[in-house]
Amino acid sequence: MAPEKDTFDLSGPTDLTHIDWNIPAHRRSVAASLVQGVYVLERDRQKNRLEHEALAPAWWEFFHFQLLRKLVDDADLSIFGAIYELKSPTSDQNHSAAQAPRFVIAFRGTIIKLDSFLRDLKLDLLFILNAFHKTSRSKIAMQAVRNLVSDVGNSNIWLAGHSLGSALAMHTGKNMAIVGDFLKTFLFDPPFVSAPIERIKTEKLKKRIRIASSLITAGLTVAMKGRHASPSSENSFTKLSEWSPHLFVNPADIICSRYVGYFKHREEMEKIGLGGIERLATQNSIRDLFLTAFGRESKLLHLIPSAKLTVNLTPSPYLRRAHGIRHGIRQWWRLDLNLECKQYYYK
């Protein structure tokens, strides 16, 4: 029997039969489903589900997409990404066709199965060590995105990813944005490497820790300028400010919840007159400043200047009853979530 989580008719957003690309919830649901399609592609491969037994196609065909290419990791031959193309919009979608993507490049996260888990776990650790951008998987993804943009332009291409795949979409999106190609990007549960400050219950204590961290980080940044810090790093961060990816975060998820405090703290620092200090601190971390001081290259993939942040405030018991989990992609294609959305711009 096929697992429920892989079967679109049992787990997918089957009620989304009429897509209005002008509606953010519809765009979110489709993007999340296409990411799930990559997960199921890899599980189909691992379980040798071929042709009529394959479960993955339903996750894109339901929304009138076709699979153009699988992205395969050269280390273990696992499928980690996919390039989809939207067929001609159906008649009920024509009024919103201008908001529809022509292509979507989607990346999966970690799969806890022996066939791919060791490779995924190694990449998770490299992300924590800020060395993810050096991996062959990252380079394969980057080249695929560059090739597609070169062939068709950047106006109708979406990037989407979940967890580790979100880090991959973040990396490719940032690199494209630096050269002026701003791709619409959907980042589901993107990992944030940081101390788990969001787990602290006392708001005053959290604020004090954040302010102290910003002051120390900004001070170290100023002290190191001219010695070790790259003069282009701040310019690159400023260039990125025009790119505003969609971040989808569950505050109960320790892997990505730090983004809530990251953007909220920047806003609070502006209000109390410390915006200049925070602008220095927000593009660095204490750990990576020390690594740079000792001559070790470090690239902070998770820090971004601007974003459309969506926080899932749906009660956890409800998500569990609905077969969702705090860090699961499945929560994000649901249309009945209690969400809080806010746009943050880097000044």
pLDDT tens digit string along 279-326?
666 666 555 555 555 455 555 677 888 999 999 999 866 565 444 578
* 33-37, 93-97, 290-294, 325-329: the lowest-pLDDT one: 290-294
Helix (H) / strand (E) containing 210? helix 203-224
Say which residues have a Cβ less than 8 Å from residue 225's Cβ, sequence separation at least 6: none
**Tally of structural domains, the chain:** 1
Given a cut of 80, whether residue 34 has pLDDT beyond it is yes
The mean pLDDT of 142-151, rounded to a whole number, is: 96
Q: Are strands 65-72 and 103-107 parallel, antiparallel or unpaired?
A: unpaired
Given a cut of 60, whether residue 132 has pLDDT beyond it is yes
The mean pLDDT of 229-234, rounded to a whole number, is: 50
Place 229 in a pLDDT band, splitting at 50, 70 and 90. Answer: very low
Place 231 in a pLDDT band, splitting at 50, 70 and 90. Answer: very low
Between 26 and 233, name the one with better pLDDT.
26
Helix (H) / strand (E) containing 28? helix 24-46
Cα 68 from Cα 49, distance rounded (Å)? 19
Specify the amino acid at residue 253: D
Taking a C-beta distance cutoff of 8 angstroms, is the pair 254, 196 a contact?
yes
Cα 20 from Cα 9, distance rounded (Å)? 21
Highest mean pLDDT among 125-134, 248-257, 277-286: 248-257
Given a cut of 60, whether residue 16 has pLDDT beyond it is yes
CB-facing half-sphere around the CA of 88: CA atoms within 13 A? 1
Q: How far apart are the two ends of the chain, measured CA to CA in Å?
A: 53
Range of the domain at 265: 4-344
Average pLDDT, rounded, for the chain: 84
Between 270 and 150, name the one with better pLDDT.
150
What tens digit of pLDDT does each residue of 159-169 get? 999 999 999 99
84: DSSP letter:
E
pTM score, whole prediction: 0.85
- List the strands of the sheet with 65-72, edge to edge: 65-72, 79-86, 103-107, 157-162, 184-188, 246-249, 307-312, 339-344
Each residue of 169-179: b (16+ CB within 10 Å) or e?
bbbbbbbbbee
Specify the amino acid at residue 94: N
Taking a C-beta distance cutoff of 8 angstroms, is the pair 342, 309 a contact?
yes
CB-facing half-sphere around the CA of 282: CA atoms within 13 A? 26
